Amino acid sequence: MQEALLDPSLVLRAERRPEGPVVDFICEDANLAACRDLEIPRAGLVGARLTESLTGSLGSFLFDRCAEAVESGEPLSFTDVRTPDPTGAVAHHDIRAVAVGDRVCLSWREVSDRIRTEQALAESRNRFRLLAENSSDVVVLIGPEGVVEWVSPSVRDMLGWEPEELVGRPSTELVHPDDHRRRRAVHHHPATLRTLSDEVRLRRAGGDWLWTSSRMQEVRDDSGRLVHVVVSLRYIDKQMRARAAFVASEERYRLLAENVSDIVYQVRDGRIVWISPSVERVLGWKPADVVGRPSFDLIAAEDRERATAARAGVVADVSLEQFECRFVTAAGRRRWMQVRARRIDGAGGDYGIVAALHDIHEGHANRMALAALAAVNAVLVGADDETRLLDEVRRLVVEQGGFDGAHWRQGPDPSDGPPDGSVAIDLTVAVDGRVDRRLVVESREPDAFGPSVVATLEQLAHQVGMALSAIRTRERLVAALDEQQLLSTAIEQAGESVMVTDLDARILYANPATASSSGYPLEEIVGASPRLFASGRHGPEFFREINGALRSAPRGGASWSTGPSRATSTRRTPPSRRSTPRTVRSAASCR
């Protein structure tokens, strides 16, 4: 909704020297419109200094005016600030600054198209034509110093003054003090050239005040020097009384025309006084069933506390943008909506609130599901306990995903169905290609599981299956390593001699029993040939037979060997053969 959108705005905090003067401003907040207009991401604006984010003459001008607003505490308005855009053309902006303590809310609006149109009109006008076209109104010619130079005779009928009584007097003497102070807050950039319209009270000759509509046209020469200001005045007392009703009606129908796909409604004294027909399509309510009811009746009970705080800001004339809460449908369901709202002031201090609702139910549900997926992915990394992991996944799906329940079911078969009044989705968790269990997610919202939400939850279930596979693979690996360590310990402590050789008959390993039984130290055995243990009692044919046995089926036998002292011993040798991808090794145990 255009009317409910905020202009680009920044919240700035004054940075002072210890002795007091403001030296810079720190950006504390920036809305989306400001980030787009400045082409700076929000992360780059928030925390940055004003003089660093906005450089050049515009930055200096804004710094000076913001400092002035902080020191005076008065709201300031800078009309038609001219700055070059990236193409070299001149851009025009209206800028407003409101100070609260050491903080300033700075907002702006680009008015280049309007200014160019007004400039084109101003160039075609001259004083005589303007006087002729405004003969029924009061026309005042004011010099560059603010002194009245000429007044049309019609001033007698409107204000009761003779023209000669006003010529030579400061124009501000006729303006009501309150309106004069308000207009003083509107500072014009030195390079401005535009038409200004305003409503002011002017003093009549009898001392009373009269509401007028004033239209000021600055007239400059070719060098840009101000020559004079032409002001036309029109009596608007009747129009002022009718304005409140007119503005409310115009606002209402303009919002309806511009937001036909959204819901637009108006609240006064806490009750809905008008709502667009689109409420029936989105929430199922007929407008006649809603008008007259408290506006909070449509907001879900869970969100009313937040909505109350948001409404307080709107009442304080702070526009609300992109507030998300749940609204109750005519069927009693809840639906996520994005709310934009602003205050509208009427006559006699009365005010109302205009709000626009945009349906974000599907998008909100998908964001919640993505949040759950991100949270689950974070706990899957490094998970080593299956039970704790499954409990944590179930908790995160409920808390981060906004669902009403989640539980695990063993086995491949789907569940029998959710509790009464709920809907559920049954997600398969597969481990190594086989269905391991199922994750059942429940919600009381009938349309909670749209296509995007289902796709996100299926990805979550897939990630959980991969994590379970990793945990179980790790557990099997640990068990295998433990078994290998146990076997290695048994060989080291065995009473029999155990040796491992490669295909070149070089001893790669020998256990301590080999050293003790042969008398050779392990340092001499490892790397040596089994001939080290030859006793001389066996011929070449015997060793060829052993070699063939090692290269074929395992078999056992007896042999004699000698130690360092050449003592001969008899050994029973059961050889074995082990194959690896690169070599064949032989192992033998002797006793």
Sign of the four-CA dihedral 264, 245, 319, 25:
positive
Q: How far apart are CA 33 and CA 6, in angstroms?
A: 8
The CATH number for 576's domain is: 3.30.450.20
Establish if 481 belongs to a structural domain. Answer: no
The answer to whether residues 183 and 166 belong to one domain is yes
In-domain check, residue 166: yes
The mean pLDDT of 257-265, rounded to a whole number, is: 70
Within this chain, do residues 468 and 390 fall inside the same structural domain, yes or no? yes
Q: Are residues 77 and 186 in the same domain?
A: no
Q: Which of 104-118, 176-190, 454-468 has the lowest mean pLDDT?
A: 176-190
Is the residue at 125 inside a domain? yes
Report the b/e string of 506-532 with b at 16+ CB within 10 A: ebeebbebbbebbebeeeebbebebee
Give the model's pLDDT for residue 132: 43
Give the pLDDT mean for 180-198. Answer: 65
129 is a domain residue: yes
CATH at residue 380: 3.30.450.40
| 338 shares its domain with 375 | no
Same domain, 106 and 178: no
Same structural domain, 231 and 258:
no
DSSP labels, 481-514: HHHHHHHHHHHHH-SSEEEEE-TTS-EEEE-HHH
212: exposed, middle or buried (Cβ count in 10 Å: 0-12, 13-18, 19+): buried
564 pLDDT band (50/70/90 cuts)?
A: low
Residue 1 is assigned to a structural domain of this protein = no
Say what the pLDDT of residue 260 is.
61
* For range 241-254, the mean pLDDT: 66
Last residue of a domain, one of 86, 110, 134: 110
CA distances (Å), 271 to each of 130, 274, 295, 511, 535, in order? Answer: 48, 9, 5, 93, 112
201: β partners: 211
pLDDT in tens, 353-384: 989 899 888 888 888 888 888 988 888 887 88
Angle between the 386-401 and 451-493 helix axes, to the nearest 10 degrees? 160
**Domain tally for the chain?**
5
Q: Where are the beta strands (DSSP E) in 143-294?
A: 148-151, 186-188, 195-203, 209-220, 226-235, 263-268, 271-275
Task: Reply yes or no on whether the pLDDT at 194 is more than 80.
Answer: no
Q: Sign of dihedral through CA atoms 173, 175, 176, 177?
A: negative
pLDDT of residue 125: 54
Does one domain contain both 525 and 470? no
What share of the chain in percent tops pLDDT 70? Answer: 80
Sequential DSSP letters for 8-73: SEEEEEEEE-TTS-EEEEEEEEE-HHHHHHHT--HHHHTT-BHHHHS-HHHHHHHHHHHHHHHHH-
Cα–Cα distance list, 20 to 63, 70, 140 (Å)? 16, 12, 45
d(CA 21, CA 12): 16
DSSP string of 423-484, one letter each residue: EEEEEEEEETTEEEEEEEEEESSTT---HHHHHHHHHHHHHHHHHHHHHHHHHHHHHHHHHH
Whether residue 132 sits in one domain with residue 102? no
Helices (H) and strands (E) in the chain, counts: 19, 25
* Spatial distance between the Cα atoms of 48 and 45, rounded to a whole number of angstroms: 5
Is 122 in the same domain as 231? yes
Segments forming the whole domain that contains residue 96: 9-110
Residue 344 lies in a domain: yes
Q: What pTM, to 2 d.p., does this model score? A: 0.40
**What is the reported pLDDT for 254?**
61
User: Are both 253 and 205 inside the same structural domain?
Assistant: no
Q: What integer pLDDT is reported at residue 305 of this predicted model?
A: 93
One-character DSSP codes across 97-137: EEEETTEEEEEEEE-HHHHHHHHHHHHT--HHHHHHHTTTS
Give CA–CA dist 512/518, Å, rounded: 10
In a domain, 568, yes or no: yes
Residues 463 and 502 in one domain: no
Cβ atoms of 442 and 403 within 8 Å: the answer is: yes
| Domain final residue pick, 82, 110, 138 | 110
Q: Where are the alpha helices (DSSP H) in 144-277?
A: 155-159, 163-166, 177-184, 237-258
pLDDT digits (tens, 9 = 90+) for 401-431: 888 889 998 865 665 666 666 788 899 999 9
- 253: three-class secondary structure by DSSP: helix
Nearest-angstrom CA–CA distance, 236 and 187: 25
Least confident of 96-100, 293-297, 392-396: 96-100
List Cβ neighbours of 579 (8 Å cut-off, separation of 6 or more): none
**Which one of 95, 110, 125 terminates a domain?**
110
Inside any domain, residue 489 = no
Give the mean pLDDT of the chain: 80
Please say if the pLDDT value at position 232 is more than 60. Answer: yes
CA 386 from centroid of its chain's CA atoms = 33
Residues 39, 59, single domain; the answer is yes
Q: How far apart are CA 383 and CA 392, in angstroms?
A: 10
Euclidean distance between CA atoms 44 and 53, whole angstroms? 9
